[in-house]
Structure 1
Amino acid sequence: MSMLNKIGLILTMILLCLVASGCLKQGQTTREPDLIRVKSLKGRESKKVILIVADSLMPQAIENGVANQKLPAFQYLIQHGQYYNNMVSSFPTMSVTIDSSLLTGAYPDGHRIPGLTWYSTEDQELINYGTGPLEVVRLGIDPVLTNAVIHLNGSHLNPQLPTIYEELARLGRRTGSINGLIYRGTESHTLSPPAWMHAPTSLPKSIKVKGPDFLALGSLADPLKGIAKLPDGLTRRMGLNNDFSVATANYLIRNRKLPDFLYVYLPDLDKQIHKQGPSPEVKGVQELDRQLQSLLDSFGSPKEALQQAVFIVIGDSGMTPILPKQDQSVIDLRSLFKGYNVLQPGDQVSEKTEAVLAVNETMAYVYDLKSDKLDTFAGILHADPRIDFVSWKEGDWIHVVQGGGTTMLRFKKDGPLTDLYRQNWSVDQDTSILDLTIDTAQRKLDYGRYPDVLRRLYGALHSHPGNFLVVTAKPGYELADTSSPTHPGGGGHGSFGKEESLVPLIISGTEKRPQHLRIVDLKDFLLQVVTQ
């Protein structure tokens, strides 16, 4: 389930508890000037750019649906544009980290959002933006919502690294975000948590944030409140859903209030694939197609839509099928560390705490708080044959060992080998571990099953301070702590294999092409298209 879906579920849980206890009161709403300032200053003569991010949209579902003539909107956009099925996501392949890479143009070593959950050595706190209801209950609803609603954009996202909203504002362009996880911009906004959230949390009645000219975030920020009725009630995850996103975008289109750049996030597909597993035939993709069609029709017709706007549709990550429970598909990390003092969810770190687990589905960070057990922890993990890789950094070098194996690979930046992204590396020992192909004569390095793995792994291991391991599970398995969400028989992501890393990209309405097919490179491409 995506972070947005999980936050919506958490809000709904709080509301249900308060309704039952009779604590619900009607809150005040805050009206903002979004609709006044959002409209492009360049008028109708300039094409607007609409970026649609569909959580867990996978290439095989698009290709199967188009081949069977079940996805007319996708088919139209592909026939009148460019289609790629191999754009490389960020790592870990979790929405909050991917969106940070997309909107800043940097990997986690630049934007500083390591994952959906990670440990802050500065605050001595396990940061969790909303991995699942059970884990949220154990960690505490208050810290999870505070981190997700206040700190994620307010302080955790590197303040020295500009987002696309901030850069476009400096260039005099108008921007908007609908249900985006990462939205930091230059304009002042007020998030207004519903009154029923005040009792169980320490969230203030209003939260001042910086965002694009237009900011919609479900019930927390609805610039159309009192103007248009949107699906944001108790049964609709408080507006954190596809229908809310599409209805808001349709309003802007029909009322000629589109900004120069509009980001639209569609979270619903992720939940279905987590439950059922990835498949070429996904009913949710047909519903997504109908929603895309409604956006095209809001311009009058699909043809008119591409005359007035550039449509860019992407997935954020793929998924790998998770084996059934009887196949021991869930790797219980806590059980592997019996005998060590591992931080319990919701507890405070003490002098006795030896390890912290931060699980991001098929990937995890494992922290050594004593700075003397990292080798021991790595040995425990790679002894399990369900583990794909264990990795850590030592000085300039990054070491990688395969689960169940005995050989090792190490690499560092700025060596003699150049990959297809013009990145330079030194690589020693067993290159087959990461399926690397090296042409020594040409000094070239190519990737196999793990796209851009050296840079993505480097980014994760340098994303935040601490003495820690990066751990990934083999396809078919996922990692877990005491109350982590698991998906036996369904689908999971987090790791850096092709199944979880390669996502679709559709570009319609412009002849421009991105230099490289990586999410981290899309920001520069978007800036070119918006300012052309």
Structure 2
Amino acid sequence: MKWLIIIFVILILLYIVFFWTKPKQEEHDLSRMRAGDGRKKVIWLMVDSIMSHAIDEGIKKGELPALSFLLKNGQYQRNVVSSFPTMSVTIDSTLLTGTYPDQHRVPGLIWYNAEEKRIVNYGTGTGEVMRDGINQVLEDAVIRLNQEHLSSNVSTVYEELAKRGTRTGSINGMLYRGNTDHVLSFPPWLSGPTTLPARLSVKGPDFLALGMFSNPLSNVTSTPDGLTDSLGLNDAYPLAVTRYLIEQDRMPDFTFVYLPDMDKPLHKKGPSDQSAIRTLDRELANLLNSFDSWNDALKQYVWVVCGDSGQTGIHPKGQDPAIPLHQLLADYRILPSGEQATTDTDLVLCVNERMAYLYLLNDSITISDMQQRLHDERIDLIAWEEDGWIHVHRQPEDQELRFRPGSAWTDPYGQSWEIEGEFKALDLAEGPDNSLDFGEYPDGLMRLYAAFHSHSGRFMIVTPAPGYELVAQHSPTHIGGGGHGSLHRIDSHLPLIIAGTDQRPKHPRIVDLKEYILHLMDHRPSVD
């Protein structure tokens, strides 16, 4: 019995050491923060999957007092165009660099690296992550994304504002590259069994908070960043950090705050669920309550609430909403998860929910072969690049066009194109003086072009019709819930609320918001 007690005590101690120990923090970011200089600071709340229809419905029912207050005292754009694929890592890269993937070089949440002959996965779903290799995924998401994959040929908003002497901060942003030295710290229960180091030197904004791994407030206040708090990678931690900085008058001049919690319930319950946005509104109200009054919050700060993409409702199981690409293409030798491609590999499938990259490694595979095997009424668009032209086939209507940069047609964003074929394949409308208008696929030409030039390789892009999602053998599914990733307007439109300034973005696109941030910071209004 004595030995059993000793073993039990040892197990408890090991459990405490390895599962509850937080890493020692080496961050001293607060020392770089300064009190206000008489000009408004900017708080940018990036809310994963917040949608306009949910805001509108909640306000109509009187359920969203905080968002209603910002709308009443600010500006509201319902249909800002996202990046493509409509996945958070690509979208955030576009927002922070002001470029599409053809320049920032982050093609999606999952993609194939032709040089290394392997799949890059930043964290799609548990099953797929485990098969791709937990070490590989951690290294890609934690180390390579900011240090290698995000192109060094583009600058982030943090890097540019640093050159202007403007203090910046990122709270739980996955993309955070800046000019200031930081150290990410990983607890022994994570760095021990994985290839992550105990300490990782990175470059970020002046203030960098990333859950348990970078907590500049660890020595001054308690924050929800433990194991039972999802390591701080949720809404509670960034909101607690933001509130503390507000109350102590230590906010950076520009702070990006990423709030992820809305995404998960919408994936599970579908885009009609209103519970998540009611929770967000309570969180926002709690921030506004940091001030003597909500009006004081607007007098002292510019507030931005921004989405990253929409979500499309996925049909229930009885309507076969999951399109199994690995089964449609079973005649080919598909790269198994976690392995490197060889000369025997025909195809690589990288599914970003409602969008997929299909890599044709075997030169003998033709586009027509692929089209025949992908002939499924649930698939909407099939696109490929050939001889400098991007071809798009819209399957339900059997319409096709091809396009490339040119001078024949000009879209609403001043981008010029040469187009041949049926305009309806991308729901394009001809306007006066060779102008173009977009329909179901906003900014569809440039967003497709950028995806095809985001990384090397011979590949196709496939997107399904609304109500459906694409899957490979181990992909996560959202049957009866919600999904995003595609070029369609439902996935691509996001809301933008700005209060505390009259300045507006040049165009309602996420790719134009970096330029807006820079202009806003150069012309910050005075504190009222």
1:453-512 C-alpha deviation (Å, 9 max, x unpaired): 001111101100000001101111100111111011000000011111111110100011
> Which residue does the alignment assign to 1:49?
42
Question: Is 1:343 aligned with 2:335?
Answer: yes
For 1:355, the aligned partner's letter is: L
Secondary structure (helix, strand or coil) at the match of 2:364 reads: coil
Q: Which has the larger radius of gyration?
A: 2
Find the partner of 2:29 among 34, 45, 54. Answer: 34
Moved more, 407-416 or 105-114: 407-416
Find the partner of 2:232 among 235, 239, 242. Answer: 239
CA distance in 2, matches of 1:425, 1:28: 53
Secondary structure (helix, strand or coil) at the match of 1:215 reads: strand
CA distance in 1, matches of 2:422, 2:326: 30
For 1:83, the aligned partner's letter is: Y
Kept after mapping to 1: 8 A contact 2:22/2:212: no
Return closer, same or farther for 1:115/1:330 CA change in 2, 3 Å cut-off.
Answer: same
Kept after mapping to 1: 8 A contact 2:48/2:309: yes
For 1:438, the aligned partner's letter is: E
Identity of aligned residues (%): 49
Question: Is 1:474 aligned with 2:465?
Answer: yes
CA distance in 2, matches of 1:220, 1:36: 19
Secondary structure (helix, strand or coil) at the match of 1:351 reads: coil
> Which residue does the alignment assign to 2:409?
417
| Residue 89 (structure 1) shift | 0.6
CA distance in 2, matches of 1:153, 1:96: 11
Kept after mapping to 1: 8 A contact 2:20/2:227: no
Return closer, same or farther for 1:119/1:485 CA change in 2, 3 Å cut-off.
Answer: same
- Residues 247-326 of structure 1 aligned to structure 2 (within 5 Å): 247-279=240-272, 281-326=273-318
| Residue 32 (structure 1) shift | 1.4
Find the partner of 2:154 among 161, 172, 181. Answer: 161
Find the partner of 1:176 among 163, 169, 173. Answer: 169
TM-score (norm 2): 0.94
CA distance in 1, matches of 2:469, 2:66: 34
Kept after mapping to 1: 8 A contact 2:49/2:263: yes
Moved more, 299-308 or 474-483: 299-308
| Residue 125 (structure 1) shift | 1.2
| Residue 237 (structure 1) shift | 1.4
Kept after mapping to 2: 8 A contact 1:382/1:404: no
Kept after mapping to 1: 8 A contact 2:23/2:212: no
Kept after mapping to 2: 8 A contact 1:392/1:400: yes
Kept after mapping to 2: 8 A contact 1:391/1:401: yes
Q: Structure 1: which 5+ residue stretches go unaligned?
A: 1-17
| Residue 193 (structure 1) shift | 1.2
| CA RMSD after TM alignment | 1.6
For 2:131, the aligned partner's letter is: R
Question: Is 1:103 aligned with 2:85?
Answer: no
| Residue 348 (structure 1) shift | 2.1
Q: Structure 2: which 5+ residue stretches go unaligned?
A: 1-12, 524-528
Return closer, same or farther for 1:125/1:109 CA change in 2, 3 Å cut-off.
Answer: same
Kept after mapping to 2: 8 A contact 1:142/1:200: no
| Residue 199 (structure 1) shift | 2.6
CA distance in 2, matches of 1:21, 1:226: 21
CA distance in 1, matches of 2:33, 2:152: 24
Secondary structure (helix, strand or coil) at the match of 1:268 reads: coil
Secondary structure (helix, strand or coil) at the match of 2:262 reads: helix
1:323-356 C-alpha deviation (Å, 9 max, x unpaired): 1122111011100111211001112211101110
CA distance in 2, matches of 1:341, 1:151: 29
TM-score (norm 1): 0.93
Question: Is 1:401 aligned with 2:396?
Answer: no
Find the partner of 2:352 among 346, 350, 360. Answer: 360
> Which residue does the alignment assign to 2:505?
514
Kept after mapping to 2: 8 A contact 1:322/1:478: yes
For 1:231, the aligned partner's letter is: P
